[in-house]
Amino acid sequence: MSMKQWIALPAILLPLIAVGQLQTPAEQAQVALRARVTEFLQYHVDGNFRKAYDMVADDTKDDYFNSGKAQLESFKIDDVKLNGDFTKATVTATLSKMMMIAGQVIPMTAPSITTWKIENGKWVWYNDSKAGLGNPMAVGLPPPPASATPQSNSDNNGGLPKSFDEKAILAEAQSILQQVGVDKKEVMLATDKPSEDKVVFHNGMPGSVQLELDAPQVPGLTAKLEKSAVAASGNVQVVFHYEPGKTAGPKNSITVQLVVQPLNQVFPIRVNFYAGGPVAPK
């Protein structure tokens, strides 16, 4: 090592040593644990369960190998609680994934609690049988919306249904699907002058959804989304515009389909055409 390198070495090492000294043993343990949990959950986002398996405790590897493993959409570590000697911990996270319910693919977000311990000098996930937590990737159904009150089938366990028979699952699926909708299912456009009408889509889901339009080709007619991505509790306008041309306008109504993904839910919107002045009130 050259003289210049020897002189520069303290300037490099001293900040690192200072940072290490500023961290308490609890802080150091929490930083190391958060890094391991992040790596473990990211493998489930990537679908790399083989690498995640290497981060499972020896006494839990069989359970993990034999259990169902879901690919996550995203995750967020919410809380870390260490035991007295920093060798075990409980981690609370929020997991998001897609679930198939009653033939519909629906985004689900739910809390997950996992237990961790030090094994061979590293944090590993293990199944604490006393805690009865089971598979950490088991993202359950979210609580029903405040407007829905099926108290007979749920308790205080996060709004989850007591029974998971076909009727209960269908009821939950319907409750979820009813959280998205449009303010009307018909629009009126004049054929003898430029005209415009709008439909408002509302997303009451806890997560965002994507919109797609499937419209037949009609000369002079445009159907446009204000934007395709709709955030939670957000609204988006679907704008229908007709510009008359040289030929006669459409004589019959048409149907434009508004598709909501990933729910694969379709809202048919009927486009009615008229000529000769304003439409009579209904």
The DSSP secondary structure of 219-268, one letter per residue, reads TTEEEEES-SEE-TT-EEEEEEEE---SSPPPSS-EEEEEEEETTTEEEE
pLDDT single digits (tens) 172-195: 666 666 788 999 999 999 988 999
Q: Using 50, 70 and 90 to split pLDDT, how confident is the model at 138?
A: very low
The residue out of 131, 157, 178 marking a domain boundary is 178
Q: What is the pLDDT of residue 150?
A: 40
pTM, entire model? 0.46
- Four-CA torsion 135, 80, 77, 204, nearest 10 degrees: 80
Bridge partners of 265, per DSSP, are: 260
Q: What is the pLDDT of residue 173?
A: 62
Query: Which of 128 and 24 is assigned the larger pLDDT?
Result: 24
Q: How many other C-beta atoms are found inside a 10 Å radius of the C-beta of residue 268? A: 12
**Claim to verify: residue 34 and residue 106 sit in the same structural domain:** yes
Distance (Å, whole) CA 165 – CA 82? 38
Q: What is the pLDDT of residue 172?
A: 60
**Claim to verify: residue 207 and residue 157 sit in the same structural domain:** no
User: In the chain, how many domains are there?
Assistant: 3
**Claim to verify: residue 128 and residue 7 sit in the same structural domain:** yes
Asked whether residue 279 is domain-assigned, the answer is: no
Of 39-53, 106-120, 150-164, which range is least confident? 150-164
Cα distances (angstroms) measured from residue 191 to each of 73, 215, 271, 280: 46, 18, 12, 16
Of 52-56, 75-79, 166-170, 259-263, which range is least confident? 166-170
**Claim to verify: residue 167 and residue 188 sit in the same structural domain:** no
**Claim to verify: residue 8 and residue 131 sit in the same structural domain:** yes
pLDDT value at 157 more than 60: no
Q: What is the pLDDT of residue 233?
A: 87
Q: What is the pLDDT of residue 277?
A: 54
Q: What is the pLDDT of residue 68?
A: 65
**Claim to verify: residue 127 and residue 252 sit in the same structural domain:** no
The residue out of 118, 140, 162 marking a domain boundary is 140
**Claim to verify: residue 32 and residue 94 sit in the same structural domain:** yes
Say which CATH number the domain at 96 has.
Answer: 3.10.450.50
pLDDT single digits (tens) 110-137: 778 889 999 999 999 998 766 555 555 5
pLDDT, averaged across the chain: 77
**Claim to verify: residue 21 and residue 43 sit in the same structural domain:** yes
- Residue numbers of the domain that contains 153: 144-178
The whole-number average pLDDT for the span 190-207 is: 90
Of 19-28, 37-46, 69-78, which range is least confident? 19-28
